[in-house]
């Protein structure tokens, strides 16, 4: 049997009616709180990235192909639909391709006016995301003959314009000549994604209604949206597409460019990147708190066990063996704190994940509740890392035990 481990275990055992030392409890609580905070922090940071990424990519797409001038959003420069461009999209990683046409406009009533981006789509568009987030009505009817004049607005825009499903909606547009164009639609549905910068901008209709605003040329679209299969890397696929588009430009003179959602919304993903720095700072601070408490507790435990150390040294136990005893002692405290911290952190994350009990102001955080992700890999890394770092830092206070002289202890005893 490992003698050092056996002694450390016996010292750690609580006799009936005995209570653990105050410093041991403080160290255990500090470790538990620190790890719980780390678990929750990692979950929230990963949750923000996952939820916003899924929301944006689902409402737009993983990759958007437009004229270079439009940068994936909207431009007066359209893309001519032809087989050469669409043949580039034939790839095993692409699940769906949908052309779209956009036009900036203004929704007008007697009392209000709201600017939106009218997005026209056809029957190839994946409507599942918006149908799941439909509050009233339905997605505009696409590909009907004669074409429908349905329009879908967000809940925010509908409330500002004081309209409900079935109401007539008038919109104003300006063409490339500066002429004001008017068109009327019927509100078919009201949606809410929970992301303000999406809800305040996008309105949806049949693509032919938007093409009519461009002299009715249905062969010119703003661009294409590409949804990729699960696990595909949008950034890597974008680079592959752009390499093919360079060849297409030099061979055929067709200028298009692919963009990811990070390219289209750099401010949003830049804001998310700042959360990584915040998470790192929180992890460092909580580890420092746990280490300070552990070091203090171990020093006091060593002082409380001076007599035992002196006897063991007098019986011939080496310095390294004494060091291992108190490292084992530290390990028991750390493991107890880590188990409690992991359990508490997991419960907090699970409650928020299932019931979203902590809300967020959407004006500042884009989401209506604190997002949490069940990031098992990061949690395991945090738990193992916390144990390893703590034990390494405990080498210094544990070394103090090896400096206790058995002669001095026995003299005073």
Contacts of 341 (CB under 8 A, 6+ apart): 31, 32, 33, 34, 35, 36, 38, 39
Does 366 score more than 80 pLDDT? no
User: For residue range 78-100, what is the model confidence (pLDDT) as tens digits?
Assistant: 788 888 888 888 888 899 999 99
**What average pLDDT does the chain have?**
86
Whole-number pLDDT of residue 90: 83
Closest to 91 measured CA to CA, from 229, 253, 286, 187? 229
Share of the chain above pLDDT 90, in %: 40
User: For residue range 254-269, what is the model confidence (pLDDT) as tens digits?
Assistant: 889 999 988 988 888 8
Question: What whole-number distance in Å separates Cα of residue 93 and Cα of residue 278?
Answer: 35
CB under 8 A, 24+ apart: contacts of 78-84: 78/214, 78/220, 78/221, 78/222, 79/220, 79/221, 79/222, 79/223, 79/224, 79/256, 80/219, 80/220, 80/254, 81/219, 81/220, 81/221, 82/254, 84/248, 84/252, 84/254
More confident residue, 144 or 410: 144
Question: What whole-number distance in Å separates Cα of residue 203 and Cα of residue 190?
Answer: 10
Q: Is 368 left (phi over 0), alpha (psi -120 to 50) or beta?
A: alpha
Number of H helices, E strands in the chain: 16, 12
Q: Which phi and psi (to 5°) does residue 195 adopt?
A: -110, 115
pLDDT category of residue 75 using cuts at 50, 70 and 90: low
User: For residue range 318-360, what is the model confidence (pLDDT) as tens digits?
Assistant: 888 888 888 898 899 899 999 999 999 999 999 999 998 998 8
Q: Bridge-partner residues for 81, per DSSP?
A: none
Q: Is 268 left (phi over 0), alpha (psi -120 to 50) or beta?
A: alpha
Tokens of 83: 């087989």
What average pLDDT does this structure show over 35-56? 88
User: For residue range 269-304, what is the model confidence (pLDDT) as tens digits?
Assistant: 888 788 888 888 988 999 888 888 888 888 888 877
Does 148 score more than 70 pLDDT? yes
User: For residue range 216-256, what is the model confidence (pLDDT) as tens digits?
Assistant: 667 788 899 999 988 889 999 999 999 999 999 988 888 89
Whole-number pLDDT of residue 76: 61
Does 16 score more than 50 pLDDT? no
């Amino acid at each position: 049997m490992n003698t050092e481990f056996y002694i450390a275990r016996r010292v750690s055992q609580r006799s009936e009616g005995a209570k653990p030392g105050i410093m041991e409890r403080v160290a255990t609580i500090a470790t538990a709180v620190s790890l719980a905070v780390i678990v929750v922090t990692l979950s929230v940071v990963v949750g923000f990235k996952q939820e916003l990424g899924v929301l944006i990519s689902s409402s737009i797409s993983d990759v958007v192909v437009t004229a270079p001038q439009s940068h994936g959003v909207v431009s007066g420069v359209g893309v001519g639909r032809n087989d050469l461009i669409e043949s580039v999209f034939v790839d095993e990683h692409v699940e769906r391709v949908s052309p779209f046409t956009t036009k900036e406009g203004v929704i007008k009533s007697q009392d209000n006016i709201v600017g939106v981006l009218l997005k026209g789509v056809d029957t190839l568009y994946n409507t599942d995301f918006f149908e799941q987030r439909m509050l009233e009505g339905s997605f505009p009817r696409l590909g009907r003959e004669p074409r429908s004049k349905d329009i879908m607005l967000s809940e925010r825009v509908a409330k500002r314009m004081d309209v409900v499903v079935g109401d007539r909606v008038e919109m104003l547009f300006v063409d490339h000549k500066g002429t004001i164009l008017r068109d009327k639609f019927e509100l078919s549905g009201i949606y809410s994604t929970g992301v303000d910068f999406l809800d305040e901008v996008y309105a949806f209709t049949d693509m032919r209604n938007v093409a009519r605003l461009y002299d009715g040329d249905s062969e010119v679209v703003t661009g294409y949206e590409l949804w990729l299969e699960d696990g595909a890397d949008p950034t890597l696929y974008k680079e592959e597409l752009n390499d093919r588009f360079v060849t297409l430009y030099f061979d055929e003179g067709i200028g298009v460019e692919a963009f990811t959602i990070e390219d289209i919304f750099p401010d949003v993903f830049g804001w998310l990147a700042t959360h990584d720095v915040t998470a790192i700072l929180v992890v460092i601070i909580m580890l420092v708190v746990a280490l300070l408490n552990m070091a203090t507790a171990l020093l006091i435990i060593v002082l409380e066990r001076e007599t035992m150390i002196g006897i063991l040294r007098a019986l011939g136990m080496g310095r390294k063996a004494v060091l291992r005893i108190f490292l084992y002692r530290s390990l028991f405290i750390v493991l107890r704190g880590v188990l409690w911290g992991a359990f508490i952190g997991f419960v907090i994350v699970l409650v928020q994940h299932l019931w979203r009990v902590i809300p967020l102001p959407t004006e500042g955080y884009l989401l209506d509740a604190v997002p949490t992700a069940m990031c098992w890999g990061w949690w395991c890394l945090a738990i193992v890392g916390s144990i390893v770092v703590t034990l390494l830092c405990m080498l210094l206070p544990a070394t103090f035990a090896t400096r206790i002289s058995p002669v001095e202890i026995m003299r005073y005893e």
